[in-house]
Amino acid sequence: MRRSGPKKLLLVAALIGCGNAAAQDPAKVVNPDAYPAGVLQTLQRARDDCKAAGGGGVTFAPDTVRALDLTGDGRDDYIVDFRNAQCRDRAGVYCGSGGCQLDIDVALAGGGVRTVFSQWVRSYEILPGKGARTIRFEMHGGYCGGHGSERCVKTHRVTAKPFGFAMPG
């Protein structure tokens, strides 16, 4: 029995080491060949934000980028949700009391991708339907004239035109 103990410890240590290496290597989670240049630019902005905040590197979760047709044109558009992304040593870079950074990048008719939405949201839901999709966003209460903890819901139909929500003035 005792002889297998050190081997088990080495195996556990190796697995932990591999798990940490994979978690710290964004290339193992986000495949750059899977996304157009515009989406890669969105991910690079997140890396730049982490670096500017003094963070030690970014880990993108497998669900950071979601490809689906939001505009109803038959092409993949992209929701880039930083809810599960991590900026090492700087926890508040992508999420805070106002929610988490969410970008929507849509495919353009001539090729390429445009970021049409980039704000912090608490949650979002793509409403059922055909054609251009409507998304329901839960935002910081200030966007509805209230306070941070209050619920604020905004909706928008996604097209290739940029949009955003402003706090009342």
Task: List pLDDT tens digits, range 35-92.
Answer: 999 999 999 999 999 999 999 999 999 999 999 999 999 999 999 999 999 999 999 9
**Any domain includes 90:** yes
**Any domain includes 76:** yes
How many whole angstroms separate alpha carbon 88 and alpha carbon 58? 6
Number of domains in the chain: 1
How many whole angstroms separate alpha carbon 62 and alpha carbon 51? 21
Which residue reads 């991708």 in tokens? 113
**Any domain includes 51:** yes
The answer, yes or no, to whether residue 12 has pLDDT greater than 50, is no
**Any domain includes 5:** no
The one-letter code for the residue type at 68 is: L
Q: What is the pLDDT of residue 29?
A: 53
**Any domain includes 43:** yes
Mean pLDDT of the 82-105 span: 95
User: Which domain, by its residues, includes 67?
Assistant: 31-157
**Any domain includes 141:** yes
Q: Between these two residues, 93 and 34, which has the higher pLDDT value? A: 93
Q: What is the dihedral of CA 155, 158, 161, 166, to 10 degrees?
A: 20
The one-letter code for the residue type at 95 is: C
The answer, yes or no, to whether residue 106 has pLDDT greater than 60, is yes
**Any domain includes 15:** no
**Any domain includes 88:** yes
